[in-house]
Structure 1
Amino acid sequence: MQVLSHFPLTNLNTFGLEAEARYYARVTSAGELTSLLRDARWKDFPKFVLGGGSNVLLTRDINALVIQPDIRGIEAVKETNETVWLKAGAGEGWHSFVMYCVNHNLAGIENLSLIPGTVGAAPMQNIGAYGVEVKDVIETVEAVSLDSGELRIFSASECRFGYRESIFKHELKDRYIITAATFRLSRKPEFHVEYGDIQKTLETMGVTELSLKAVSEAVMHIRRSKLPDPAVIGNAGSFFKNPEITREDYEKSKALFPDMPGYPLENGNVKVPAGWLIEKAGWKGYREGAIGVHERQALVLVNYGGGRGEDLIALSRKIQSSVKQQFGIQLNAEVNLV
């Protein structure tokens, strides 16, 4: 393992923003990570964890030891007639892991196809799409303490999952590095096709018999039709969370904006699509030099090339202010701002 100085991070974040790490290390095992953290040279030096770079907005150089956990491997750690528990390294690409499950007829995450990032980022963000959240299938999360270098195994309940939230984004933020996660997959699929355009897309595809592959391909088709490829246009997917408001506030807004969509939640509140709010506020397709709002999906902020992180933050704040003024609803960023 090498520790490199003044390492460029432009190719390690999907916005393609220019930034530099004072020091950078790529670790390929939990043991290697522990050795690095216990090295006297880095004991008291600030540290920053960078996974796939698909959910981060860099606004500056990182004056720290940037650690990238590139820990690979997928293995079945337990099996029954109905369930398989798969342990995957934090450095595995999330979509590649989904495809592994689909190809092995293991159900539970097919609706999460084509989400960018790594396995390690999935529990941190509690990623979700089309009626499924990763918390629904996570059994345990393994993470190493930045202070002691010790490995700890968190149960799903200990992770305190919420909507795009986990304990790793709050109480334990910057205190642990996720090295692996174990997922509980089913040999007997329960398909979730009632969300978004999945059912309609399946019909267009001519699918008459549901399968994991068919659902996955439908999700990928929808995502590709709406979301830009980060390899072509710099972006981090959905920039904002879908806001949750009270039923009373939703009814008031619905009276003013009859076409406002809303999805009832178990707690009695209503989730409103952030993309709809941003588009209605007139931001879809907006461009300001090298940055802007994607022309097909208002929820996605983009860097066309040469943009700066601080300009993207400024644009996001303009959008928040505009939506708040027009609808009285506060948007919060899903992307981590650095």
Structure 2
Amino acid sequence: MSLQLQPDVSLKPFNTFGIDVRADWLVQASSQAQIVEALAVAQARQWPVLVIGGGSNLLLAGDIPGLVLRVATRGIRLLDDDGERVVVEAEAGEPWHGFVLHTLGLGLAGLENLSLIPGTVGAAPMQNIGAYGVEIQDLFAGLTALDRHSGETRQFSLQDCRFGYRDSVFKQEPGRWLILRVRFALQRTAHLRLDYGPVRQRLAELGIAEPTASDVSAAICSIRREKLPDPAELGNAGSFFKNPLVDAAQAEALRLDYPGLVAYPQADGRVKLAAGWLIEQAGWKGHRKGDAGVHRLQSLVLVNYGQASGAQIQQLAQAIQADILRRFGVQLEMEPNLYPQQ
């Protein structure tokens, strides 16, 4: 067997919250063949399987039975280049930010607003990750996934993925699809998205009047480093709650009570509320109970100060959800995936 099955492994190094739980078995697969073999072994032994990448979108609330399959495949290639539009494919295990920097180094624009988002390329379509006015769906050119039900590979188009706000078919059908590689359509001529004031402001502070895609990436990295703690220094999974979508009438009613409400009208008539603003208004910013807390600078980020368990982080999240629902009538939804499922 080419696989290295590791028994009774701590998953602390494999999740950005730094939660110290154990897996019955761990495999780190560096090829599609190893992924297929690992799934076959798990099926033969009737083990449940948890697939992980960078571990940046996980809240591990207990030990993980069966097999944890870490996708560690690497590789970036250019598939098509007409002189302007370039299709780039990356293996699922590529670190996301490294991939973004690689494309910028090739003179390709498009991914710069998604700089410094933790995780891997394979996880990006699952969440339809987005930041500063850009989402994965805006640059998506297809992906290859393994159907764990049939064992066959399938090519997904933009329509097939059913992308929504932090959503996709891969989240809607949990446990079925394992993303193997993803393709993006990038441009040699930059069409910069500078819709968000903080980005323009940071560029102005840097004295950059005519920014390049790399300039935008550097500005966004600077902003994110100021706002978000580094998981290597303080365990976290980035933004813990989705920005909730409410109907226009509810948003207007909230605005009457809270004139400073941070809200963004959507194309479908609904309104996206800033979850971080709601949490801060409710007084949770900087809150700490034991080693589980809300970051002192960014109320959307829950943190592990060292020895917090996943259950303690979950309890804090549930307390925040209940308080926001009571105060504002708004239900917050977690972004990280909770394991084991409860």
SS of 1:197 mapped into structure 2: helix
Quote how far apart the aligned CAs of 1:310 are: 0.6
- CA deviations on 1:175-227 (whole Å, 9 max, x unpaired) are 12111101111112111112140001110011011101110011011101100
Partner of 1:329: 330
Within a 5 Å distance, the mapping from 1:24-173 to structure 2 comes to: 24-39=26-41, 42=44, 44-171=46-173, 173=174
Structure 1 unmatched runs, 5+: none
Q: 2:70 is aligned with what amino acid?
A: Q
Q: 2:76 is aligned with what amino acid?
A: I
Conserved? CA contact 2:42–2:66, under 8 Å: no
Tell me whether 1:266 sits opposite 2:267 in the alignment: yes
Quote how far apart the aligned CAs of 1:35 are: 2.7
Conserved? CA contact 1:85–1:184, under 8 Å: yes
- Further displaced range: 303-312 or 187-196: 187-196
How far apart in 2 are the matches of 1:42 and 1:283? 47
Partner of 2:214: 213
How far apart in 2 are the matches of 1:279 and 1:41? 46
How far apart in 2 are the matches of 1:37 and 1:161? 26
Conserved? CA contact 2:87–2:185, under 8 Å: yes
Partner of 2:291: 290
Quote how far apart the aligned CAs of 1:39 are: 4.1
User: Size of the alignment, in residue pairs?
Assistant: 337
Q: 2:232 is aligned with what amino acid?
A: A
How far apart in 1 are the matches of 2:45 and 2:9? 20
How far apart in 2 are the matches of 1:41 and 1:235? 32
Q: 1:47 is aligned with what amino acid?
A: V
How far apart in 2 are the matches of 1:184 and 1:296? 35
Structure 1 moving runs of 4+ over 4 Å: none
Q: 1:125 to 1:329 in 2, by over 3 A?
A: same
How far apart in 1 are the matches of 2:289 and 2:171? 31
How far apart in 2 are the matches of 1:39 and 1:218? 46
Q: 2:64 is aligned with what amino acid?
A: I
SS of 1:250 mapped into structure 2: helix
Conserved? CA contact 1:168–1:176, under 8 Å: yes
Q: 2:91 is aligned with what amino acid?
A: G
- CA deviations on 1:144-184 (whole Å, 9 max, x unpaired) are 1223432221112111111001111112x111211110111
How far apart in 1 are the matches of 2:270 and 2:28? 43
Q: 1:78 to 1:281 in 2, by over 3 A?
A: same
How far apart in 1 are the matches of 2:154 and 2:289? 45
SS of 1:149 mapped into structure 2: coil
Quote how far apart the aligned CAs of 1:40 are: 7.7
Q: 1:246 to 1:41 in 2, by over 3 A?
A: closer
Q: 1:62 to 1:196 in 2, by over 3 A?
A: farther
Partner of 1:195: 196
Q: Percent identity of the aligned residues?
A: 46
How far apart in 1 are the matches of 2:255 and 2:38? 54
How far apart in 2 are the matches of 1:194 and 1:301? 27
How far apart in 2 are the matches of 1:17 and 1:46? 20
Conserved? CA contact 1:130–1:196, under 8 Å: no
- CA deviations on 1:45-70 (whole Å, 9 max, x unpaired) are 21110110001000111102111111
SS of 2:44 mapped into structure 1: coil
Normalised by the size of structure 1, how large is the TM-score?
A: 0.97
How far apart in 2 are the matches of 1:195 and 1:317? 31
Q: 1:191 is aligned with what amino acid?
A: L
Structure 2 unmatched runs, 5+: none
How far apart in 2 are the matches of 1:202 and 1:77? 33
How far apart in 2 are the matches of 1:147 and 1:258? 51
Partner of 1:174: 175
Partner of 1:301: 302
Normalised by the size of structure 2, how large is the TM-score?
A: 0.96
How far apart in 2 are the matches of 1:133 and 1:179? 20
Quote how far apart the aligned CAs of 1:34 are: 1.8
Q: 1:333 is aligned with what amino acid?
A: M
After superposition, the CA RMSD in angstroms is: 1.2
Partner of 1:20: 22
- CA deviations on 1:256-275 (whole Å, 9 max, x unpaired) are 10010111110011111100
